[in-house]
Chain A
Amino acid sequence: MHALWYTIIVIMLSIYVVLDGFDFGAGILHPFVAQTDKERRQIFNAIGPFWNGNEVWLVGSGGLLVFAFPKVYSAGFSGFYLPLMMVLWLLIVRGLSIEFRSKEDNPLWRAFWDACFFAASLVLAIVFGAALGNVIRGVPLLASGYFDGSLFTDFMPGRYPGVLDWYTIAVGVFAALTLAGHGALFLAYRTLDSVRERCMKAAKILWPAILLSGVAVTYLTWLVRPQIYASLIARPWTWTLASLIVAGAVLIFWSLRHGRELIAFAGSVAVITGLLSATAAGMYPNMLMSTIDQAYTLTAVNSATATNALLTGLVWWLPAFFLAVLYFTNLYRVFRGKIDALEDAYGHSDTSI
């Protein structure tokens, strides 16, 4: 039951990263791939119907974490107090920049929100990557089950590391690159003409960089947390997850050469899913490792809620998840393919809605 709920959280978070990841990527890339206001509107209409729903997967994962692993939630969230507060502010600015941008024709108004959208997306992508880096590296958890996470200490991943050290920053940069590449492929799939071409060009630059930095981060992870690889080797079924990454990467490079943006995007989904699930599989059963004493580590076993509650949770989670998948399939089906003028809800201020 613990393993099952660990898997559920990983599935939810992976869906979050895959979905919200492309609109983060859109935020990072849009100043470069779209220059005129008309081109920018393509970007906002490409992600417009989706971004808010995508973010719900984060809220849903958070709720499930409170329910299934309250100790991990309370330790993690209180320990990362300051970075999380800044994440919240950035999420607020980012959400409003998407929704408020189109409400005014004034070019300065739009330029301001474009800048906010870019900056908030970029910083959040780095911070979320750094957060994953913290989970992999471990945090100074005390016997009480809590920790006081400093923003930074000596930038070294030692016994008392800060939220930011050379390792977590590296993971953050890798995450931002990956999401930018992911977003480039999504935008290439949804947009037209010059924007599409620039996105394809960006993807061709980004993906080799992602590949290289991915290899580098894999090596750094081995320095910081070699146990992950030991567990992965000991669990042969996890090799399918690793091969998912390779297959996805191959698919991306093949379809970039042949101009097949949807297949390339599917490859990018595979890469991200593979990376996250392989990391999670290598971590299991650890959820929040202590850098102070292995005995203080919070695992899926010692921090889970009562087993009968987890069982009850499964009874409603399954249909709810099924419904959510149904809603989202429908949403993405209605707005599949290239954006067109008919769904332009943000650009026109003179017509309906």
Chain B
Amino acid sequence: MDALTWHRVQFAFTLIYHYLFPQLTMGLALIIVVLKGLALKLNSQRYDEVARFWVRIFTINFAVGVVTGIPMEFQFGTNWARFSNFAGGVVGMTLAMEGMFAFFAESAFLGLLLFGERKLGPRLHFLSAVMVFVGSWLSGYFIIVTNAFMQHPVGYSIAGDGNLQLANATAFLLNPWAIWQYLHNMSAAVITGSFVVAAVGAYWALMRQHEDHARICLKVGVIIGLAACCLQLFPTGDQQGKMVATYQRSTLAAMEGKFESSSHAELAIIGQPDVVNRRLENPIYVPWILSFLCYGSFGAIVEGMNDFPPDQLPDNIELLYYAYHIMVGLGTFLFALMGASAAMLMKGRLYANRPLLWLLMLAFPFPYVATTAGWMVAELGRQPWTVWGLQRTAQATSPLVHGGNVVFSILGFMGLYMVVGILFLYLVTKEISKGPAQLTGSH
């Protein structure tokens, strides 16, 4: 493999691993605010105990998210120096704003949230939780704006030395691509958070432990989870798809496994793309739907991959196709599961429905898989570009960092992250089996 491939493997590996943690951070931050808010409103000790339990999980998760996040910012320079040089004048702004506006708020108030409950009193402590939530969600926005610029560059001009410079900060910050991508991504984070909360509730319920706390986790997890699953499909998923269909037509064709252009285009539910022979094997189609989903009319023409020159198409069509189909398939499954759980919850029968509790307990990895697959769609779909239409990935790497250096660091990251993963799982499982503390010390 050449250096470029190794650079991509390292970035993909460290990014996918990293994002397992912030998605739960952002989802849980919202749920903790809700739990603490309910505790204040209902003046309920139980809600407070559940909130404290999730703050403990949040801390462990946040710590791993922070330490695996710093390598991401470094790698823009270490591995993608020509990208930083070319686009740093634009995307550097949101990277800097993330630190200045989001991380400072998040970290300063996290210190208060973790260490200050007894010093601050309930209201100020609730405010700290709100600020941690605001900080983590702001940080998500700045990163999404950065990625949205790479997907659909706006608000820039080209300087005399050929590099990009910021021309219109407002246009850059309010990139329409960023708005939908952000909402889609944040509702995915809430889905992850609510499935994790519901899964722990289901576990305690099945074990017949901490029954009051289990009910709270199930109720809050399922209600928030169903709302987020709805938003995930419509409008955010729908609008995000239309963005791709409008601005990245070659990506759309590859995602859908569509080779021939046509009107009344069919949607492939399943099938294996045979890129060499330009066809989809064993397909199951829904007629006309793709044209409608993309452009709002059954007669609209959807272009196929055969209409694009090969050097304009993503270089890993198969993986892109599967990532997209896994995302949509799992999204549908998660929606159905939360829908069924919510129906049972409304009838007051969820707590006694053991098969459904089993499903809820076991389903928590799927939001992680779906979110990872979604980001793979975004990143593989943007290929062969780093900045769509402006800089190719092959031209974005650090020119003097050779494959030997990168393989060395990939192996280092793999070893270290494996240890981190084992420790994380160990500590979280321990917290879950310990459960929410009934006794709250000297208030």
Contacts and interface: CB of A to CB of B under 8 A. Distances in A.
Interface stretch (B259-267, B302-310, B324-332, B408-416): B408-416
Given A312-B169, A335-B115, A68 B92 contact: yes
A60 B99 contact: yes
Nearest to A60: B99
Interface stretch (B105-113, B275-283, B347-355): B105-113
B32 to A, nearest CB: 12
Interface residues of A, number: 74
Interface string B383-426: 00000000000000011110001001100110010001001000
Contacts of A324: 100, 104, 108
A103 B114 contact: no
Contact of A56 (B107, B416, B439): B107
Interface in B69-127: 70-71, 73-74, 76-79, 81-82, 84-85, 87-93, 95-101, 103-105, 107-112, 114-120
Closest 10 CB pairs of A and B: A77-B77, A70-B88, A67-B92, A63-B96, A60-B99, A66-B92, A49-B111, A78-B398, A78-B81, A351-B441
Interface stretch (B51-59, B197-205, B211-219, B315-323): B51-59
B337 interface: no
| Residue from B59, B63, B439 whose CB has the most chain A CB atoms within 10 Å | B63
B99 A312 contact: no
30 contacts: A49-B111, A49-B112, A52-B110, A56-B107, A59-B70, A67-B89, A70-B88, A70-B92, A70-B163, A76-B77, A77-B76, A77-B84, A78-B79, A78-B401, A82-B409, A84-B78, A85-B78, A95-B66, A95-B67, A103-B427, A148-B401, A305-B166, A312-B169, A313-B93, A320-B101, A327-B104, A331-B111, A334-B112, A334-B120, A352-B440
Interface of B: 49, 52, 55-56, 59-60, 63-64, 66-68, 70-71, 73-74, 76-79, 81-82, 84-85, 87-93, 95-101, 103-105, 107-112, 114-120, 159, 163, 165-166, 169, 398-401, 405, 408-409, 412-413, 416, 420, 423, 427, 430, 437, 439-441
Nearest to A94: B67
Contact of B108 (A53, A63, A144, A348): A53
B127 to A, nearest CB: 11
B66 A316 contact: no
B93 A78 contact: no
A345 B114 contact: yes
Nearest to A324: B104
Mostly, the B contact residues are helix
A91 B427 CA distance: 20
A226 interface: no
A85 B412 contact: yes
A31 to B, nearest CB: 22
Given A68-B92, A334-B116, A144 B399 contact: yes
Contacts of B169: 309, 312
B436 to A, nearest CB: 9
A81 B78 contact: yes
Contacts of B89: 67, 70, 305-306, 309
Interface in A171-230: none
Contacts of B412: 85, 89
Given A52-B107, A144-B399, A146-B399, A66 B99 contact: no
A327 B420 CA distance: 30
A74 B81 contact: yes
A71 interface: yes
Given A85-B78, A103-B427, A352 B52 contact: yes
